[in-house]
Amino acid sequence: MWLEARVTTKTRLANEIINSDSVRQELLDKVNPWKEGLTEKADVAIMLGTSPQFSKFEDRVRFTTGLLNDKKVSSVIFTGKSDQETKDNDQAQTATDLAISDFGIEKSKVHLAGGNNTEANLRLALDTVRRELPDTKSVLIISEAPHLL
């Protein structure tokens, strides 16, 4: 029951984003170069937040920083503030600290966008791209299958 309610909520939020013509077009404009195979690199990787209490958190940070270390992206945006279920208080900052201390990432390559759910994380990450990385032409979103609902 709990999982069904969570999936329904994520589906509703995803539909709200996708049903906005301007947001959908802006996201498609950034994703299409990857989809069409025009490039193997992106300007920015956006890692959607998850609780540091789960092993997938470190996996996402490792994968995201690997893209930066392999020069597949120029910058990363870590997202996430508090998690309603696990009561985390700053996923983006925790990811940044891990990226710097354990994976050798330069602080200047990291940007933060702290929302409390997937929708807020995507909106705030887009605001961060507009404000701090205005020359961005392509993004890669690091997440897992449930975020696609």
Confidence band of 36 (pLDDT split at 50, 70, 90): very low
Cross-strand pairs, 113: 79
CA 137 from centroid of its chain's CA atoms: 16
pLDDT for 81-130, tens place per residue? 876 666 667 899 999 999 999 999 999 999 999 888 888 889 999 999 99
**Rounded mean pLDDT, 39-53:** 83
pLDDT of residue 56: 81
pLDDT exceeds cutoff 70 at 28: no
Sign of the dihedral defined by the CA atoms of residues 18, 23, 29, 34, in that order: negative
**Percent of the chain clearing pLDDT 90 (strictly above):** 33
Evaluate whether 80 touches 115 at the Cβ level (below 8 Å).
yes
Evaluate whether 60 touches 50 at the Cβ level (below 8 Å).
yes
- CA-nearest of 121, 128, 140 to 65 is 140
pLDDT of residue 116: 84
pLDDT of residue 62: 87
The overall pTM is greater than 0.85: no
Evaluate whether 13 touches 119 at the Cβ level (below 8 Å).
yes
Evaluate whether 61 touches 101 at the Cβ level (below 8 Å).
no
DSSP state letter for 109: G
Confidence band of 34 (pLDDT split at 50, 70, 90): very low
pLDDT for 58-83, tens place per residue? 888 988 898 898 888 999 999 988 76
